[in-house]
Amino acid sequence: MVALSLPAAAAVAVFGSLYGAAARGFLGVPLTLVSSLIVYSGALQFAIVALLGAGATTLPLLLTAGVLNLRHLVLGAALRSRLESGPLRRALLGFFLVDETFGFAIAAGNAAEPRAVGAATERTLLYSGLTLYVAWLVGTVVGVLGGGLAAVEGLAGALFPVLFIGLAALAVTRRSHVVRAVAAALLTAGVALLLPDLRLLAPVVAGVLVALPGGDR
């Protein structure tokens, strides 16, 4: 599963370079590098650049961070039952919890023997998290240095839906999961069309809403 995170890492590096190139003009080189080092969130960092470009002050930046990061609470809760180590190690693993690493960790846990679910989940979260983190940092440095990878942006952009479809397929363990996944996709599309301002929150809200009703078959 960690090896399968390499294509995702390549795409993350491309977007890191785009971020580095875009953020350099607003944050300067040092803060651009520090932002990728300590924030490590593509969605939030691109949003910060867009907000700064629109002349936003500190409060909108903080509110945006709060809203965009809400999804981590859901991802963390869904992962919690699979993590068996102590709070300190879980606190370390928490830094690497992003959409993609969550997917790899869930998939690794699903593929493991019942007694090895915790170890497989934690190992995958750590190693795929490190891989994607390094890719994000390297991409940012490349972008800051002016070596943007815009030529392959299209290919990198295509990887994310493919990756998420693959992770959805891996996460399906019952027929009812397929129905819920389709319902969540339709709900997300509806929100994107009707309430575009909530588009970034839609995936997690839809995921939770369709998980609540009914039983499993």
Find the binding residues for another protein in span 169-208 (CB under 8 A).
169-173, 176-178, 180-185, 187-189, 192-193, 196, 199-200, 202-204, 206-208
Over the window 56 to 75, marking each residue x when it contacts another protein by CB under 8 A and - when it does not, the resulting string is: --x--xx--xx--xx-xxxx
Over the window 137 to 166, marking each residue x when it contacts another protein by CB under 8 A and - when it does not, the resulting string is: -----------------xx-xxxxxxxxxx
Integer Cα distance of 190 and 13 in angstroms: 31
Q: Report which of 174, 183, 182 is spatially closest to residue 215, judged by C-alpha positions.
A: 174
Contact 139, 20 (CB under 8 A): yes
Q: In angstroms, what is the minimal distance from the CB of 22 to another protein?
A: 14
Residue 94 contacts another protein per CB under 8 A:
yes
Q: Which is nearer to another protein, 17 or 122 (CB)?
A: 122
Residue 11 contacts another protein per CB under 8 A:
no
Helices (H) and strands (E) in the chain, counts: 9, 0
108-127 residues near another protein, rule: CB under 8 A? none
CB within 8 Å of 149: residues ≥ 6 apart: 13, 14, 17, 18, 139, 142, 143, 156
Q: In angstroms, what is the minimal distance from the CB of 196 to another protein?
A: 6
How many other CB atoms are found less than 10 A from the CB of residue 159?
16
